[in-house]
Amino acid sequence: MTQPLYTIADILAATGGSSDLAPDISINSISIDSRELGPDALFVAIKGDRFDGHDFVDKALENGAVAALVNRGEGERRIVVADALEGLRDLARAARARSRAMVVGVTGSVGKTTTKEAIRVVFEAAGDTHASIKSFNNHWGVPLMLARFPQAAQFGVFEMGMSGPDEIRPLARLVRPHIAVITTIAPAHLEAFGSLDGIARAKAEIFAGLEAGGTAVLNADHPQLGALLDEANAAGVTNIVTYGEARGADWQIVDIQTAADRCFATIEHDGERHALVLNVPGRHMIANATAALAVAHLAGIEPAVALRALAGFGAQPGRGQRTLLGPSEKPLLLIDESYNANTASMTAALDVFAAQAAPAGRKVVILGDMLELGPQSESLHASLVPAVTASGAERIYLVGREMAALAGALGPTRVAGHTQTAAEMADIVLDDLAYGDAVMIKGSNGVGLAEIVDKIRKRFEDS
């Protein structure tokens, strides 16, 4: 018989809650969304920025939830605790405490979700794996993913994000990783930190949760490596592994070759050379995959197993996913980079697009604001001119107030359109795009460029 994720008795023991539910009732999934409930679900009524889950408890129970974890309200099938979000954290602590899995935590300014996915793919080739979904990496996403951690899993991979100081530390102490990966440091959320060194120190908060004898896996290809090493030393981390193109990296990337839809590299480690082949383009993707190789080695997974798994690894929605729409003889190529953006990821995406030919038409870019860059925002947006130029884009569309700096630097003759909102831009580009074009869309998630992606998909799939 399959072991349940929890019983009601387990939940009461973990949270200190009270309930009239039978203690042997099984719970096999946990949700904070009353519309998305798995089998034998526990609905957790947390209060968010826009909604309070307590307003949806009845709907969740109507939709099939077995029970609801709440901190107020009366009725059947409730588990009452002092605070529902803290109750979720209690479940996360309980799940982590009982687990015997190899646990990896991933953070960084750029590439953390893709790196997490690459590690997941490698771990799944070796055993039962649990990983964070989407970008559930904040104060509720991390405990939710941990609370869902099956006791039988052999591997766990959890992403941790931040928008300000002292946000990763409590998450890391929940996750308690055996391996802590920091992908790179770049000007994301620069407004909250003031400098790249400030961002590095905040990312290094992950070391606060690293298990005794654990290992830090660090990207060596950025100037803040020294700051990360100092923070690791201050935290008592003695096992450090580096990766990247930098000379002397423990997992050194050499002989990179990129094509429009794939890339290749040789990875040198401890006197051995490994041929890495990826079904996605981009030097940054090679770096993400190399982090996964380093983690696999630390977890005792043979390089051949990891390399085979990575050969089938693909880009995720919003992070470089490529889709051909329409007739096979003359499709529209849609490259979806709409989830996030800072100067490092924007430059990397434009570099990949430079190697991409349009199927039978023009190259088009739609670029949205890079948010939370603080006083340097104007200069950082304007600094994209060389990358935009090198991309070979024939039509350049810009979305958002901050993109005015790039529009000014490019000049009016080079910018096909500049709007303040994604909704305004959607109508413009839908009238301009045609089968045969290649279009890349990239910007910070808050700009809402996913709306343009969805409308392009619908228009060119259905036409």
Choice between 436 and 1, residue whose per-residue pLDDT is larger: 436
Residues 333 and 407 in one domain: yes
- For residue 1, pLDDT beyond 70: no
% of the chain residues with pLDDT over 70: 99
| Chain segment 231-281, per-residue pLDDT in tens | 999 999 999 999 999 999 999 999 999 887 889 999 999 999 999 999 888
Average pLDDT over residues 293-317: 94
Q: Is residue 392 situated within a structural domain? A: yes
Tell me what pLDDT residue 259 has.
82
Question: How many other CB atoms are there within 10 angstroms of residue 168's CB atom?
Answer: 26
- For residue 327, pLDDT beyond 90: yes
- For residue 64, pLDDT beyond 90: yes
Q: Is residue 140 situated within a structural domain? A: yes
- For residue 189, pLDDT beyond 80: no
- Give the domain extent around 386: 321-462
Estimate to the nearest angstrom the gap between the alpha carbon of 283 and the chain centroid: 18
Tell me what pLDDT residue 50 has.
83
Estimate to the nearest angstrom the gap between the alpha carbon of 438 and the chain centroid: 25
| Chain segment 363-397, per-residue pLDDT in tens | 999 999 999 898 899 999 999 999 999 999 999 99
Average pLDDT over residues 325-340: 93
| Residue bearing tokens 């383009």 | 281
Residues 331 and 307 in one domain: no
Choice between 282 and 229, residue whose per-residue pLDDT is larger: 229
- Per-residue CA distances from 412 to 54, 200, 388, 416, 430 (Å): 51, 37, 14, 8, 21
| Chain segment 126-153, per-residue pLDDT in tens | 999 999 998 799 999 999 999 999 999 9
Structure tokens at 440: 């890349």
Q: Is residue 280 situated within a structural domain? A: yes
Number of folded domains that form the chain = 3
Residues 381 and 454 in one domain: yes
Task: Please name the residues in contact with 212: beta carbons below 8 A apart, sequence gap of 6 or more.
Answer: none
Task: Please name the residues in contact with 126: beta carbons below 8 A apart, sequence gap of 6 or more.
Answer: 154, 155, 296, 299, 301, 305
| CATH number where 407 lies | 3.90.190.20
Average pLDDT over residues 432-457: 96
Structure tokens at 296: 């696999």
- CB-CB contact of 452 with 365 (8 Å): no
- Per-residue CA distances from 241 to 141, 198, 207, 425 (Å): 27, 22, 14, 44
Decide: residue 350, CB within 10 A, 0-12 exposed, 13-18 middle, 19+ buried: buried
Q: Is residue 385 situated within a structural domain? A: yes
Q: Name the pLDDT band for 49 (thresholds 50, 70, 90).
A: confident
**What's the CA gap between 323 and 336, in Å, rounded?**
8
- For residue 463, pLDDT beyond 60: no
Q: Is residue 174 situated within a structural domain? A: yes
Looking at 84, 119, 134, the residue that finishes a domain is: 84
Identity of the residue numbered 346: M
Residues 51 and 196 in one domain: no
Classify residue 371 as left (phi > 0), alpha (psi -120 to 50) or beta: beta
Residues 374 and 393 in one domain: yes
Residues 452 and 391 in one domain: yes
**What's the CA gap between 326 and 329, in Å, rounded?**
9
Residues 128 and 76 in one domain: no
Residues 289 and 371 in one domain: no
Residues 192 and 303 in one domain: yes
Stated as kind and residue range, the H or E segment containing 291 is helix 283-298
Comparing CA positions, the residue from 289, 276, 292 lying closest to residue 320 is 289
